[in-house]
């Protein structure tokens, strides 16, 4: 089994098993509110630039426990939410059963979306596409399942500022004053281990650290890869914590030095 602390995971099935292993901790900690960067920065910025989706058919790729799928569904979209890891889908389906938002859940991979060409009016992907082996294939697949005129909006770790070993340097008061970056990329599939650092230790340390294989690509690579799908780039966002937010949620204040996320939206031409 590839869960014994291996250093590299490039095979898609191996990567999927790591995400399945990450699921219990991710679900518990994110639902307890400890994915501070997601909840306070990434998702709000993503939703700010998301076009109206009322009445549209949308696919959320790499839905996880589906907090974000549910938010998009609440805007009136008919959402199909897909993930490779069954435990994420089970948690998401349980929430849906208790409080339905009309979401359909599908187990599948971003690398081979189980839908015919042109099925969806739009696709979202929150913080998934940098986690898949061959992210160019995932982009091609996302473009394929869009109807002409449909759009893909996705967030990823910022390709320029989140190299392996990104370390926030803090002064004696704990205020972030610099970001240390060591390398731009690591070999594909290098497994990074980390935790939601702000969570209370008793909760955080009840789980093993996340094991996340990295598939680092440069900013130019991502822009070229989107262009190669034939989608037209129409919006980009690099969310940073505004001063009031940084003061309220100090953990995410480092994004004022260098953004942690990149959000792109690209549209399929009508012809
Ligand atoms: C960082 S989590 C983000 C989850 C969710 N979108 C959110 O914003 O909370 C990445 C998600 O991508 C999923 N994932 C990883 N590789 C995948 C693949 N090849 N196809 C579909 N989902 C994948 C993982 O199982 C995990 O749920």
* pLDDT tens readout for residues 70-98: 999 999 999 999 999 999 999 999 999 99
Q: How far is the CA of 131 from the centre of ligand 1 (A)?
A: 7
**Check whether domain 12-267 has CATH 3.20.20.10, yes or no:** no
| Nearest partner of 14 among 149, 95, 121, 109, judged by Cα | 109
**Residues in Cβ contact with 90 at an 8 Å cutoff, skipping those fewer than 6 apart:** none
**Would you state the pLDDT for residue 186?**
83
Confidence of residue 253 (pLDDT cuts 50, 70, 90): very high
Reported as a single tens digit per residue, the pLDDT across 179-222 is 998 877 788 999 999 998 889 999 999 999 999 999 999 999 99
Q: Is the CB of 111 under 6 A from ligand 1?
A: yes
Q: How far is CA 14 from the centre of its chain?
A: 19
In this predicted model, which residue has the larger pLDDT, 235 or 198? 235
Is the predicted pLDDT of residue 268 greater than 70, yes or no? yes
**Residues in Cβ contact with 179 at an 8 Å cutoff, skipping those fewer than 6 apart:** 161, 166, 167, 168, 169, 254, 257, 258
Reported as a single tens digit per residue, the pLDDT across 91-142 is 999 999 999 999 999 999 999 999 999 999 999 999 999 999 999 999 999 9
**Would you state the pLDDT for residue 1?**
31
CB 58 within 8 A of CB 124: yes
Three-class DSSP category at 51: coil
Q: Is the CB of 92 under 6 A from ligand 1?
A: no
What is the best residue among 12, 14, 19 to mutate for testing ligand 1's pocket, by most ligand atoms within 8 Å of CB? 19
Averaged pLDDT of the chain: 94
Confidence of residue 6 (pLDDT cuts 50, 70, 90): low
Is the predicted pLDDT of residue 9 greater than 60, yes or no? yes
Length of the chain: 271
Reported as a single tens digit per residue, the pLDDT across 135-177 is 999 999 999 999 999 999 999 999 999 887 788 898 998 888 9
Reported as a single tens digit per residue, the pLDDT across 25-60 is 999 999 999 999 999 999 999 999 999 999 999 999
Q: How far apart are CA 160 and CA 179, in angstroms?
A: 12
Buried b (16+ CB within 10 A) or exposed e, 152-163: bbbbbbbbbbbb
**Would you state the pLDDT for residue 4?**
47
Q: Which residues pair with 124 in a beta bridge?
A: 60, 153
Q: Is the CB of 131 under 6 A from ligand 1?
A: yes
Q: Is the CB of 67 under 6 A from ligand 1?
A: yes
**Would you state the pLDDT for residue 221?**
97
Confidence of residue 224 (pLDDT cuts 50, 70, 90): very high
Buried b (16+ CB within 10 A) or exposed e, 95-112: bbeeeebebebeeebbbe
Q: How far apart are CA 245 and CA 239, in angstroms?
A: 12
Tokens of 147: 């109807």
Tokens of 161: 């500022």
CB 153 within 8 A of CB 264: yes
**Would you state the pLDDT for residue 3?**
42
What is the best residue among 21, 62, 67 to mutate for testing ligand 1's pocket, by most ligand atoms within 8 Å of CB? 62
């Amino acid at each position: 089994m590839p869960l014994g602390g291996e250093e590299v995971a490039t095979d898609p099935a191996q990567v999927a098993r790591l995400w399945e292993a990450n699921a219990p901790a991710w679900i518990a900690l994110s639902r307890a509110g400890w994915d501070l960067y997601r909840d306070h920065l990434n998702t709000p910025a993503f939703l700010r630039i998301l076009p109206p989706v009322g009445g549209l058919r949308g696919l959320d790729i790499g839905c996880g426990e589906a907090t974000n799928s549910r938010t998009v569904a609440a805007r009136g979209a008919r959402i199909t939410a897909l993930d490779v890891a069954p435990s994420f889908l089970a948690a998401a389906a349980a929430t849906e059963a208790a409080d339905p938002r009309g979401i359909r859940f599908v187990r599948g991979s971003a690398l081979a979306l189980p839908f015919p060409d042109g099925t969806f009016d739009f696709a979202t992907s929150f913080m998934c596409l940098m986690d898949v082996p061959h992210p160019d294939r995932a982009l091609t697949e996302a473009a394929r399942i869009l109807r002409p005129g449909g759009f893909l909006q996705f967030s990823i770790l910022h390709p320029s500022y989140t190299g392996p070993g990104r370390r926030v340097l803090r002064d004696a008061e704990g205020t972030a004053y610099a970001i240390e970056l060591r390398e731009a990329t690591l070999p594909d599939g290098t497994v990074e281990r980390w935790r939601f650092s702000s969570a209370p230790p008793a909760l955080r340390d009840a789980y093993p650290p996340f094991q996340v294989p990295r598939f680092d690509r440069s900013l130019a690579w991502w822009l070229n890869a989107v262009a190669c799908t034939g989608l037209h780039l129409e919006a980009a966002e690099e969310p940073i914590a505004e001063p009031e937010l940084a003061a309220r949620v100090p953990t995410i204040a480092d994004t004022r030095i260098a953004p942690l996320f990149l959000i792109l939206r690209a549209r399929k031409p009508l012809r």
